[in-house]
Structure 1
């Protein structure tokens, strides 16, 4: 297995586990605790729109947010308040993070390969001083 794949896999498992713990904490605390801390949030248009979007698309919406480079915590908040099944949330979190981290790790590996080729003196047409041929 290429190293970047192993890194993406392990990072996705860790990130999904941490996000799942946050989700379970939100489920445990519930709506009342949120309203006590942020009383104005329930009447905001962003809250109403996000809640409707999550209610309409469910775990698929959570997967999409998890796979995109956007903040995850607000989506976890809505998912926790909607009390989506924990195993569906765990799967969406892991699969979304796996997709995102695979793309990041692959792009990083390609960038390192490209940079090493660009910085190699032989690539630029110059002779390498460490090369015994010249």
Structure 2
């Protein structure tokens, strides 16, 4: 936990897993509050940035339009 705790916390923040148990485990090691805040921010930025990118690019791809055209037939 001391070596990879904040990176794992960032990965959990980027996933749909619940955050409370992970935060409790990290809090047992008494890390710096700023480190926890940055790890959570990094995970959330990756998660929601990826979702926003996918949503922005989804209707413009020709491959998806081809799939939609085939499904309509």
Measure how far apart 1:72 and its partner are.
1.5
How far apart in 2 are the matches of 1:78 and 1:67? Answer: 17
- TM-score (norm. length: structure 2): 0.67
Do 1:58 and 1:84's aligned partners in 2 also have CA atoms closer than 8 Å? no
- The residue aligned with 1:79 is 26
Measure how far apart 1:56 and its partner are.
4.1
Higher alpha-carbon Rg: 1
Matched, 1:90 2:55: no
Measure how far apart 1:55 and its partner are.
3.5
Q: SS state of the match for residue 84, structure 1?
A: coil
RMSD: 2.4
How far apart in 2 are the matches of 1:105 and 1:92? Answer: 20
Measure how far apart 1:110 and its partner are.
2.2
Q: Deviations over 1:61-99 (max 9, x none)?
A: 211211223222211111122221100111111111101
How far apart in 2 are the matches of 1:69 and 1:104? Answer: 12
The runs of at least 4 aligned residues of structure 1 exceeding 3 Å deviation read: none
Structure 1 unaligned regions, length at least 5? 1-53, 119-123, 125-134
How far apart in 1 are the matches of 2:11 and 2:31? Answer: 15
Structure 2 unaligned regions, length at least 5? none
The number of residues matched between the two structures is 64
How far apart in 1 are the matches of 2:9 and 2:23? Answer: 8
How far apart in 2 are the matches of 1:58 and 1:64? Answer: 10
